[in-house]
Structure 1
Amino acid sequence: MHGLFFVLVACTAGTSAFRLQQIKSTGKDHTVFFKHYYELHGEPVVLKCPSPRYKHLDFSALTPNITWYKNGSKTMISGKDEDPRIWAKGDALLFFPAMLEDSGVYICTRRNSSYCAEVAIHLTVVEKRAAREIAYLQILFTFTSGKIVCPELWDFTPNRTSLELKWYKDALPLEDDNEKFIILKGSTSLIMTSVLPTDAGYYTCKMSFPFEGAMYEVTRTIQLETIITPIIVYPTQKTTSAALGSKMTLPCKVFVGLSSHVHTDVEWLANDTIVDVVYKQSRVTEGERQEIVENGENFIEVPLIFDSVEEVDFYTDFTCLAQNRYGYQFDCLFGIIVIIIRICKNNVKQC
């Protein structure tokens, strides 16, 4: 839920749009980058002023001179005497607790006599009833063991060995003696011994946090999505027959269970190469992808279309490749299944 990107610009007031550019070090360079926090009303929040590094700059070496402002205000945020809820401490801006009206952009600036590093941090505070709208998405494979992690807690847990969390599934508490779930003491992880499609849903982890005589609660909500490795249900045979000169359509049908269609790619290859590359004259083409729902379960079907079967096709391996991907930014392959088809002449029993 926390987006992060970097921009190099001249440090100016009132700037609302930035163009990515790199500039030479002149002794007056400034760095601006952005991070977005989503937090719950009534809970403690810690905004950290990071120390970005670039080839020509090392801001970690700066003398700690950090100032905080809320965007649009010229009043510097300093000690807690000004506001009992919000104050700056070292490289952190503390909210005990955060309120809806605290939403906005907070600017922290690290500077010394040579350089200035300006950081714009976006904070959005929502009502607790909207916790699912800012849930952290996590993914697990079905029919394997796995774990989900309670994120963004380390600012509140300097002593990790004493960490104790309470876990909930769809608002119902998970007990320590549950055979399905293992709650690890001193850990942010919830272990699932065997992940089933029905385990998808919303999980909540809660941690008590004492601070200056008051007790606060830190809550994180996780949306768990379960993904099944794709299964090719057709064709089931590794050979198929065709007559020379005939037209033929060979569908590849893939079962993806309750997983979203968008997570799975299905394609045809000819001798381990994309069909369009091998058959540049489009005599053999990959047909349009169809996303099908049958009895509440999802399938994908992609046909391989022959305008006319030729001799060379009998010596070509055609492969249906189904691969389950999640997260375009990571380009991860979660599961792959293939089936290789050899086309035989009608009068030949074996290929």
Structure 2
Amino acid sequence: MLTLCLWMAGVSAFPVQPEAHTAATGSCQDLGKHFKTILRVEGEPVILRCPQERYWPGTAASSRGTVTWHRSGSAGPTPREDGRVWVQDGALWILPVQQGDSGTYLCTIRNASYCDQMTMDLKVLENTEASLPAVSYPQVLTAAASGFLVCPELSEFIKNKTDMKIQWYKDSVRLDPGSGRFVSVRGTTRLLIQDVSEEDAGRYRCVLAFAHGGTQYNITRNIQLRVRKKQEETVPVILSPHQTISASLGSRLTVPCKVFLGGGSQATTLLWWMANATSIEAAYPAGRVREGPRL
């Protein structure tokens, strides 16, 4: 018996760490401006880290030297007398942030033999519905499967915390964190959505309570969820041959094969014949039966 078998298969750039050089001359290597603008809404806490830190895995800026912050247009260091802005462990804290804090900030790291500096932009928006598109984080889940939403960019506020509680909302309606299809994973920044449907698409909001100096703050992140359809795999269908084929003994026989592969082009398609569960080459080593070319 001849059997027909078919199988079908359908950097981020970062700056290089600068070479060390002598800082005694007073010069400081300028690493330029960080590519990402930090977008926040007024009234919430903001913690800025030196952008060059991200290129030193496991190393804080404060451990490499003295860290100073300046805001563009300011002659002196950034910390202010009102106590709302200060430097802690090399990071710039602004509690709470105001629209007037928008601007370009320069972080300088200096020690006896090395100095570098890098700027970053902070843009503070009014806390209104109109600002939501600008401050929303796009995330994608697949329909008919379970997936996680992640409340982003909270690492500075949850260090060494195991009891954090995040409240989740969809279209301003608070989600029940422990029942139904929505489950807030305890001790993490994730929301599990079970059996995702297209109706789950839309705007979500996660809120983390943060206390500092006796004052309670809310840290809010907005997420725009897009649900993509589950990609269905096309199953190849053998259209012919299906019937028994009669042939005269000693005659020449050609058996055409017709297969439906679905719409569109396929990246890879493998097709082969078998005789009594054995490959044609093995069953007929002399070549009396062989596969023809594909059309």
- Could you state the TM-score of these two structures normalised by the residue count of structure 2? 0.68
Matched with 2:78 is 77
* Pair 1:69–1:184, CA change in 2 (3 A): same
Map Cα deviations across residues 284-305 of structure 1 (whole Å, 9 max, x no partner): xxxxxxxxxxxxxxxxxxxxxx
Matched with 1:27 is 22
Tell me the equivalent position of 1:149: 150
Could you tell me how far 1:72 is from its partner in structure 2? Answer: 2.7
For the aligned residue pairs, the C-alpha RMSD in angstroms reads 3.2
- In the TM superposition, what is the alpha-carbon distance from 1:134 to its structure 2 partner? 1.7
Counterpart for residue 201 of structure 1: 202
- Is 2:99–2:126's contact at 8 Å kept on the other side of the alignment? yes
Paired with 2:232 and 2:265, the residues of 1 have a C-alpha distance of: 14
Alpha-carbon distance in 1 for matches of 2:19, 2:162: 45
Q: 1:161 corresponds to which residue?
A: 162
Q: String of CA shifts for 1:287-332, please: whole Å, max 9, x gaps.
A: xxxxxxxxxxxxxxxxxxxxxxxxxxx733xxxxxxxxxxxxxxxx
How far apart in 2 are the matches of 1:37 and 1:87? 18
Displacement of 1:76 after TM fit?
Answer: 1.3
2:53 alignment counterpart? 51
Q: 2:64 and 2:178 mapped to 1: Cα distance?
A: 51
1: CA distance between counterparts of 2:174 and 2:54? 40
Q: Distance in 1 between matches of 2:13 and 2:119?
A: 11
Contact 1:200-1:224 within 8 A present in 2 as well: yes
Equivalent residue number for residue 9 of structure 2? none
- Mapped to 2, the partners of 1:91 and 1:204 lie a distance apart of 30
Write the distance in 2 (CA, Å) between the matches of 1:138 and 1:179.
Answer: 21
CA contact (8 A) 2:61 2:90 kept: no
Cα deviation 1:209-248 (Å, max 9, x = unaligned)? 1111211110001111111233367x9744589xxxxxxx
CA-CA distance at 1:179 after TM superposition: 0.9
What pairs up with 1:163-242 in 2 under 5 angstroms? 163-231=164-232, 237-239=237-239
Contact residue 184 and residue 190 of structure 1 kept, 8 A: yes
| Residues 95 and 137 of structure 1, relative CA distance in 2, 3 Å threshold | same
Verify the 8 A CA contact 1:62 1:112 in the aligned structure 2.
Answer: no
What letter is aligned with 1:127? E
Over 3 Å counting, the alpha-carbon distance change for 1:63 and 1:108 in structure 2 is same
Cα distance in 1, alignment partners of residues 144 and 190 from structure 2 = 19
Whole-Å Cα distance in 2 between the matches of residues 211 and 23 of structure 1? 36
The residue that corresponds to 1:315 in the other structure is: 293
Determine if contact 1:140/1:227 at 8 Å carries over to the other structure. yes
For the pair shown, the structure with the greater C-alpha radius of gyration is 2
Greater length-normalized contact order (CA 8 Å, ≥ 6 residues apart)? 2
- Structure 1 unaligned spans of 5+: 9-21, 242-249, 254-265, 273-313, 317-342, 344-351
Q: TM-score, normalised by structure 1?
A: 0.58
CA distance 1:190–1:23, shift in 2 (3 Å)? closer
Q: Provide closer, same or farther for how the CA distance between residues 59 and 187 of structure 1 changes in structure 2, counting only shifts above 3 A.
A: closer
**Aligned partners of 2:18, 2:207: CA distance in 1, in Å?**
45
Relative distance call for 1:121 and 1:23 in structure 2 (3 A) is closer
**Residue ranges of structure 2 left out of the alignment (5+ in a row):** 1-11, 242-259, 271-291
Contact 1:160/1:187 (CA < 8 Å) preserved in 2? no
- Shift in Å, 1:52: 5.5
The match for 2:90 is 91
State the identity as a percent.
30
In structure 2, the CA distance between the partners of 1:60 and 1:101, relative to structure 1 (3 Å rule), is closer
Contact 1:62 1:111 in 2 (8 A): no
Q: Give the superposition deviation at 1:45.
A: 0.4
1:136 match: 137
Separation in 1 of the partners of 2:84 and 2:39?
18
CA distance in 2, matches of 1:135, 1:26: 41
Give yes or no for contact 1:137–1:224 (8 Å, CA) kept in 2: yes
Q: Determine the C-alpha separation between the residues in 2 that align with 1:214 and 1:172.
A: 26
> Are residues 133 and 213 of structure 1, via their aligned partners in 2, closer, same or farther at CA, if it must alter by over 3 Å?
same
Contact 1:232 1:252 in 2 (8 A): no
Q: Give the corresponding residue for 1:110.
A: 109
